[in-house]
Chains A and B, each alone.
With several copies, the nearest count.
Chain A
């Protein structure tokens, strides 16, 4: 199972802060495409992604047990 986390505007778009997906090994890019088509989310291609709390590339692998967070442009401070 893969845990997916949404924040800020994406969380409002998704209508929830997180969801679980039963998926085999995939990539950040494939996961983004899948979520954009299954949920009505736009702009995932413009957000950063963290896999297990570290920034990841679209080509990075995602496997069962991972937590994938989509990180819109940050605005702390």
Chain B
């Protein structure tokens, strides 16, 4: 991508940069999703997070999500940046920006992007709590990955 619409970075993510990447004269609606580090999860206090990625594959999968969106919502343009490394409370971990002539598609495509990130993009989060740390797996909690064959066949059909 000449414009680098899909990136993984160790630096803070400026939201305005993502907005500019998707801005177009034919777009009347831009939605952004900003994922931030939450302090409290089910009564447990997070001190900080650590994100790790399989960077080249993560970038490729983010771009694939962009392709899927372009197929489902042809007038939509998408940009995604995910941050990795150590993140403090309220730091921005991911920004998804979507532009569209009309707002409905901008909301739908944006929500689709975050769902897909949580399914297919090789990025992992380690929670550091007051009393310990752990790698968080499968936020969707819908797949158990029996036999290491999740939805590969399904993914290949997309």
Residues on A facing B (Cβ under 8 Å): 5, 7-9, 11-12, 28, 32, 44-50, 53, 55-58, 69, 71-77
Contact = CB atoms under 8 A, between A and B. Distances in A.
22 contacts: A7-B52, A7-B122, A47-B148, A48-B148, A48-B150, A49-B148, A50-B54, A53-B54, A57-B152, A57-B153, A58-B149, A69-B57, A69-B122, A72-B137, A74-B123, A75-B118, A75-B138, A76-B51, A76-B117, A76-B121, A76-B125, A77-B35
Interface in B90-127: 93-94, 114, 117-126
A75 B57 contact: no
- Which bucket holds chain B's interface residue count? 35 or more
Contacts of B45: none
Interface in B54-70: 54, 56-58, 60
Main secondary structure of the interface of B (DSSP, over half): mixed
B147 A45 contact: yes
**Residue in A5, A50, A72, A75 whose Cβ sees the most chain B Cβ within 10 Å:** A75
A16 B78 CA distance: 35
B30 to A, nearest CB: 13
B122 A74 contact: yes
